Amino acid sequence: MRSRRSRHSGARAGLALAAALPLVTGVLALGAPTAGADSGPPARQSLAGTKPEWATAAADRGTTSAKKAVTARVYLAGRDAKGLAAYARAVSDPRSASYGKYLTARQVKDRFGPTKGQIAEVTGWLKSAGLKVTGTNEHYVTVTGDAAAVQKAFGTRLHDYVKDGRTYHAPSSTATVPASLHGAVLTVVGLNDAPRRAHRDETLPGPSSAFVNSGPFSTYYGSNVNKSLPSAYGGHAPYAIKGYTGKQLRAAYGAKNFTGKGVTVAITDAYASPTIAKDIEQYAKRNGDKAYRKGQFSQVLPADWKHGSPEECDAAGWYGEETLDIEAVHAVAPESDIVYVAGASCQDDDLIDSLHKIVDNRLADIVSNSWSDIETHETPDVATAYDHVFQQGAVEGIGFYFSSGDDGDNSHKHGEKTVDTPANSPWVTSVGGTSLAVGKGDRYLWETGWGTHKAPLSKDGLTWSGFPGEFTGGAGGGTSKIFEQPYYQRGVVPDALAKADGAAKPMRVGPDIAAVADSTTGFLVGQTQTFPDKSVKYGEYRIGGTSLAAPVIAGVQALAQQARHGVPIGFANPGIYDRYGTAAYHDVTDHPLGKGQGIGNVRVDFNNGVDAKGGTTVSLRSLGDDGSLSATVGYDDVTGVGSPGRDYVTSYVPGHRR
């Protein structure tokens, strides 16, 4: 299950569950045959990672009832999965002879997709085991059946295990498939049920509960300073801005005269806001963005929706995420087409379906995704399914961008250091976060790595209590324990990060690039909300999180593709790292004003989140401290190679010298 990443003030996130085992970059979840064809039972191919790490002997509560109902997806590898991965790398590498030689969606299907024979063989095998095939397409076969049939099909026993105080069933050993299928099966998802509870519904709930920022505000960084409040860091801190607009972000990230014309950006989230069309139109009109032309915004929605319990997906809570993503892309790239592709729920299967729709129909050049889980919850079967669609997209010239997370190294929230997923995949661009200062005249001043602490004003008004205060949020990043270091990070990412925590070999480190994420220096959005008096109306508020950074970078990439004369950038990481150390980037550090010089903003918040009836809280928000993660000179685990600088977009102009 995936959670949305956006933050109003350091809260308003979802939940996430799953597990993880080691994976090797770009390798299928297929193991060696478990028996020879000439000795003993027929040979079977193992599907690595299908037994979750939490299915331990200590957690084992015995065999699952043979009558237990199970639903699973058997993902298809296609006719040349290794060739797909190899071509995805070659077509994305600026130093490869195949660079930019993208295939059409039809060519990808014909060259790498499963054959009718493979689908028929997989379907026949599943039916012969007693499973009912409930759906088939070019990516997977969906089956249902009892545990007895599942055990017969996949050569493993299902046991009940205790995890986080709940009991789930899972394979007691790695699942296998007949070797006679000749590698047609990529992986199987659903043999464990932690969690997959949902029911179908053709309707969605109304607008989510309202949120309103309290003033005073700054209109640009430092424009409003209250000198009666306690000083901090050698002076009085300015009030937080009301929320940056597109004009300010375009100036900060080197948009120049580029608008994203001719480029299509897709956005994926779960569910769909029923008021999105009128909200984005009203926001653009109120905040100086270019009006949407007819057909510029479109939606691809599922036939029906899946609702779990509120703590699982919270359908209405995703409306703000969708709104932020669309308004941020349009603000940065006002002439790009935007297509919103909704997942029927926040579960992996439904989000993977939304990604498949984009790739199968070549709906977009750039895909922004502001949702995640943590790597320690990830299972390699699911990671393999995600990477397969990312590779297909790379071959078509489609790039995927994922927010890196909003809780730093996650130890504060989850009790252990871990990166977020799918941002950990070597096949996507992980977008980290910054705190951004845009000054008078839309002039870029500086950025810090996003890591914010909150110290409330003391009762007597003379000090900031507990200064610098508690950690409220920061950009996700760090070293993966699953994926090895991809080739494009070699020579850029320091060994101290790539081999962190005693890793025997260099591993994938995130993020890759960064943009504004701190809600204290966040973006202004407009959305229809439900207020305490039950009124439903449009309102605007400041928001942040790496779910802001991801669509901002997607918008910047749309500008860069336009600068490239419309040629798709595709999987962007090789090109992003190829520009490392040039004027393409702001090299973001935690102390842009000088070593040891701290930075703080003053925020005033309504205690009830909507008005002054419940009083207000005044606090100092200190910037640039993301716990164990640090924004340093050069590549770092908060901002990657940095944020887009004045020359980033123009560096994509053909013939431009870096």
Over the chain (658 residues), the average pLDDT of each successive run of 10 is 60 32 38 50 85 92 96 96 96 95 97 96 96 96 96 96 92 95 95 63 74 95 95 96 97 97 97 96 97 98 78 84 97 98 93 97 97 86 95 98 95 90 97 98 98 97 96 96 95 96 93 97 96 95 96 98 97 97 97 94 96 95 96 98 97 84
Query: What tokens were used for 135?
Result: 């759906």
d(CA 350, CA 370): 15
Q: 424-443 in b/e burial notation, b at 16+ Cβ within 10 A? A: bbbbbbbbbbbbbbbbeeee
Strand spans (E) along 149-257: 158-163, 166-171, 176-178, 185-189, 199-201
Q: Amino acid letter at 182?
A: H
Q: Amino acid letter at 396?
A: E
Provide the pLDDT for residue 643.
98
d(CA 430, CA 421): 9
User: Which single residue is written with the structure tokens 């109902």?
Assistant: 69
Provide the pLDDT for residue 40.
53
From the CB of residue 7, how many other CB atoms can be counted at a distance below 10 Å?
25
Strands 599-606 and 44-46, sheet pairing: unpaired
Provide the pLDDT for residue 638.
98
Strand spans (E) along 493-610: 507-510, 513-516, 523-530, 536-543, 585-586, 599-606
Please choose, from the candidates 593, 546, 649, the residue with its C-alpha nearest in 3D space to the C-alpha of residue 250.
Answer: 649
Q: Amino acid letter at 456?
A: P
d(CA 294, CA 75): 38
Strands 366-369 and 264-270, sheet pairing: parallel
Provide the pLDDT for residue 1.
64
Backbone angles phi, psi at 304, to 5 degrees: -150, 175
> Would you give the DSSP letter of residue 240?
P
Q: Amino acid letter at 523?
A: F
d(CA 589, CA 450): 10
Provide the pLDDT for residue 11.
36
Q: Amino acid letter at 177?
A: V
Provide the pLDDT for residue 425.
97
Domains of the chain with bracketed CATH: 44-198 (no CATH), 206-580+589-652 (3.40.50.200)
Residues 6+ apart with CB under 8 A from 496: none
Q: At what angle do helices 380-396 and 348-360 cross, to 10 degrees?
A: 20
Strand spans (E) along 92-245: 132-136, 140-146, 158-163, 166-171, 176-178, 185-189, 199-201
